[in-house]
Amino acid sequence: MSRIGKKPVSVPQGVTATVNGQTVTAKGPKGELNFVVNDEVLVKMENGEIAVQPKDQSKNARSKWGMSRTQILNILQGVKDGFEKKLEITGVGYRAALQGKNLQLALGFSHDVVYETPQGITITVPKPTEISVSGIDKQQVGQVAAEIREYRGPEPYKGKGVRYAGEKIVRKEGKKK
């Protein structure tokens, strides 16, 4: 039994959720999202809560049960509060700046890296060494943050590069004579 899947998802105040067949739609102050649940999982709306159950006890249905509940919870939280990931830039001369809607990164290459902001995502640069990625879709926010980090991930010797806020970098000892 899925411990996560057993719990019903309560719809927060200020959010309207509807279940139409296998599609769950949520509307809130930040926007609207929908999620199409896999056919192996049943979705019901009861007393302001969304209940998720597997259709049968097959391994495939049970494996999608908890994931479906978590996806529904994420769209409800996203339209109410949104999601945010913070990135830190470490290194001499490494910095970020907004150029219109695009993010311009100086990461030690011979040229600046320009990252085009996808629709539905807001990127802010409070300091030249901090980047904040926010939006209502948790998966998209995490994907954009990962793509930015991928340009110059933190290296283990000096710790230079782009890292998530609060991320610990395991440092290696340098070469000895």
DSSP string, 91-159: STT-EEEEETTEEEEE-SSSS-EEEPPPTTEEEE-SSTTEEEEEES-HHHHHHHHHHHHHHTPPPTTT-
Q: Which residues of 73-89 are buried (b: 16+ CB within 10 A; e: fewer)?
A: bbbbbbbbebbebebbb
**What is the tens place of the pLDDT at every residue in 110-162?**
999 999 999 999 999 999 999 999 999 999 999 999 999 999 999 999 989 99
| pLDDT at 1 (0 to 100) | 59
User: 36 and 9: one domain?
Assistant: yes
Token code pair at residue 55:
């259709």
Report the CATH number that the domain containing residue 47 is assigned in CATH.
3.90.930.12
Place of tokens 């049943």: 42
Domain membership flag for residue 169: no
User: 95 and 152: one domain?
Assistant: yes
Instruction: Give me the chain's average pLDDT, please.
Output: 91
Neighbours of 35 (CB within 10 A): 16
| Alpha-carbon gap, residue 171 to 169, rounded angstroms | 6
Is the model's pLDDT at 46 over the cut of 90?
A: no
Domain membership flag for residue 173: no
Q: Which of 66, 78, 75 is nearest to 7 (CA)?
A: 66
| pLDDT at 4 (0 to 100) | 79
Instruction: Band the pLDDT of 2: cuts 50, 70, 90.
Output: low
User: 87 and 72: one domain?
Assistant: no
Token code pair at residue 159:
């710790």
Domain of 63? 3-80
Q: Are 96 and 131 in contact (CB under 8 A)?
A: yes
Where does a domain end: 80, 96, 125? 80
- What region does 139 belong to: left with phi over 0, alpha with psi -120 to 50, or beta? alpha
Residue 37 burial class via C-beta count within 10 angstroms: exposed 0-12, middle 13-18, buried 19 and up: buried
Is the model's pLDDT at 61 over the cut of 70?
A: yes
Token code pair at residue 52:
């998720």
Cα angle 84-106-110, degrees, rounded to a multiple of 5 = 145
| pLDDT at 3 (0 to 100) | 79
